[in-house]
Amino acid sequence: MGLKDDLIKAKVECFKIMGKSEDEIDSSVGSALEVEANLMTEAIVNFLTNVEFKITQLKANVVLEDFSIPPQQGDILPSVTSTDIPYPAGIPVAAVPIPLNNGTNGVRTKAIDISKDTGNLESTGYVFIGEDPDSQDDFDVEDENGQREFTTVKLFRDDIEEFL
């Protein structure tokens, strides 16, 4: 039913233990019992909506929206060659591949700037509070069972002392 009805049922059970019969207990709308249940319901709701709950365990996948790497220096591999004509003076001969090796910082890469909307960024990762799962393969929060198993929210008594 609900919190208010549960409070009324609890109070009725207490009255029965004290020796009152069902007929002697008035829980109708507007009765003292019903008004008390309303007030207690509001007090509980106010309490729960005014306190802060702390996440004590969380494991979740992360979606990167943007990814950017500035231009980087690189080396030329020995397998990279340049095709050159050995006699630029005009004698027509076949081009010869010349290795471009032993380079140091001889290549500058282009910047990488992609996002999930532009550039088709596909990446995965995870975030956690509590024990590190070591890999996103260690948990699955795609369904309710995984969310229950890998997520915990607690209310610490020290956090609510002022509300008690």
Q: What is the pLDDT of residue 27?
A: 92
Question: Taking Cα atoms as reference points, which of 82, 81, 85, 105 lies closest to residue 94?
Answer: 85
- Check if the beta carbon of residue 120 is closer than 8 Å to that of residue 64: no
**Dist CA 29 CA 1 (whole Å):** 16
Mode of pairing for the β-strands spanning 151-154 and 126-129: unpaired
Query: Based on the number of CB atoms within 10 Å of its own CB, is 52 exposed (0-12), middle (13-18) or buried (19 or more)?
Result: exposed
Q: What is the CA radius of gyration of the chain?
A: 36
Q: How do the pLDDT tens digits run along the chain, 164 residues long?
A: 688 999 999 999 999 999 999 899 999 999 999 999 999 999 998 888 888 888 888 888 887 777 788 877 777 766 776 766 666 666 666 666 666 666 555 666 777 888 778 777 777 777 888 778 777 777 788 888 888 888 888 888 788 777 76
Q: Which amino acid is at 46?
A: N
Tell me which residue has tokens 């890469």. Answer: 109
Query: What is the tens place of the pLDDT at every residue in 3-41?
Result: 899 999 999 999 999 999 989 999 999 999 999 999 999
Q: What is the pLDDT of residue 128?
A: 80
- Tell me the pTM: 0.51
Phi/psi at 86 (5° precision): -65, -25
Question: Taking Cα atoms as reference points, which of 51, 59, 61, 63 lies closest to residue 152?
Answer: 59
Query: Based on the number of CB atoms within 10 Å of its own CB, is 59 exposed (0-12), middle (13-18) or buried (19 or more)?
Result: buried
**Dist CA 94 CA 87 (whole Å):** 10
Enumerate the domain spans of the chain. 1-50, 72-111
Q: What is the pLDDT of residue 89?
A: 63
Strand locations in 86-146 (E): 96-99, 107-108, 112-115, 126-129
